[in-house]
Structure 1
C-alpha cells in the first residue's frame, strides 16, 4: 500500500506476507547456507518469512557488523546454535535505491521510480561479497528488490 503512495521503508502488506510464505514453500527443499538482504524491513521480512517454511528448520540470524559493539553483542558462541542457524547479512548495496532524506516521505513527482544507481552497487556487491560464497559451493539466498535483483540477474 505504501509503495502505491510513493512511501518507502515500510513492512510487507498482508499480501506481501502471504507471498513470502508461498515463496518459502516453493524453495523449502533447496539448501540455504547464507542469506543476503537489503537493509529495508520488507526484504528482511521476506527472507525471515520464507525460511519459516524451510524443510531444514534452521533459524535465520541477522549478523551485525556495523561496529565492534554490535558484533560483540550479537556473536553466537555455541557451536550447536551456529549449526542450527543461517547467517543473514544485510547490505545497503541491495536496496532498490538510496533514499536519504526521502525515507518514509512522499517522493517528488519528477523522480522516476526506476531512476537509481542501486544496480551498480548491487553488481559490485554481487562480485565482491556474494560470488565468493557461490564459488565455494555455498547455497545463497538473496532477498532484495526489483532494481537490485534485475542488476544481479542480468550480470
Structure 2
C-alpha cells in the first residue's frame, strides 16, 4: 500500500515580498508565488504523482497554491478540506509590522527570540509550541487516518504549521526544527509505514 503524504508551503505572498509578519492575515500570492506554485505542480507531475484528497488552511495564499498545483496535475476537482488548524502561526501584535521596523522598535534580540524560540510567543500571538498544539491533533485525527487507509494526501499550508508537522514526522528536537528552513512552493514527499512512521522523505528543494 502506498501511504503518501506531500507537504507544500505556499508560494511567495504579497506580505512575504514586503517582509511583513503575516500570521492569520490573508494576502494572496505574488506573481513569483504563482510561478512557484505552478512549478511545484510540475515537479509532482514529472514524478507521476497524483492525489486522492487535499488539505489546506483557511488562508488564501495556501488555498491558491493548492489550486495551482492541482491544475498542473489535471486534478482541479479534487476533494479539498480547508481548516484553520493548518493556518500559519499567529504573530499577534507583530502582525502587519515590517520585520526591520519590529527590530527597531523591540530590539534585534527580542524579535529573534519571538521568531526563533520554540515556546516564547510574541505579544498576543502564538509560539511554535502553541502552533503545534493545534496542528498535531488535527493531523492525527483528520489527515493521518486518510494516509494510513492508502489515500495519497497533499497538504498546502504555511512555514510554521508545516514545521510543527515536520517536527513530529521526523522526530526533531525544538532546536532542530527551528533551524529548518522551508522554501516557498517546494514539495516535501513522505512515505509512511502502517504505524504512520516515516519510511522515506524527499525534499524537492534539494
Q: What do residues 125-146 of structure 1 show as CA deviations (whole Å, max 9, x unaligned)? A: 1101101101110000000011
Please tell me whether residue 120 in structure 1 is matched to residue 133 in structure 2: yes
Partner of 1:97: 89
**TM-score, scaled relative to structure 1:** 0.72
Q: Secondary structure at the match of 1:143?
A: strand
1:138 counterpart SS class: coil
Instruction: Tell me the distance in 1 between the aligned counterparts of 2:28 and 2:56.
Output: 14
Corresponding residue for residue 70 of structure 2: 51
TM-fit CA distance, 1:47 = 0.3
1:102 Cα deviation (Å)?
7.4
For structure 1, the residue ranges without an aligned partner over 5 or more in a row are: 60-84
Q: Which moved more, 1:42-51 or 1:2-11?
A: 2-11
The aligned counterpart of 1:88 is 80
Superposed, which structure 2 residues align to 1:1-155 within 5 Å?
A: 1-3=14-16, 4-7=19-22, 8-28=25-45, 29-54=48-73, 57-59=74-76, 85-98=77-90, 105-106=96-97, 109=102, 110=106, 112-113=114-115, 115=121, 116=127, 117-155=130-168
User: RMSD of the alignment, in Å?
Assistant: 2.3
**Corresponding residue pairs, total:** 127
CA distance in 2, matches of 1:43, 1:113: 21
C-alpha distance 39-99 of structure 1, shift in aligned 2 (>3 A): farther
In structure 2, what is the Cα distance between the partners aligned to 1:19 and 1:147? 19
- Normalised to the residue count of structure 2, the TM-score between the two structures is 0.55
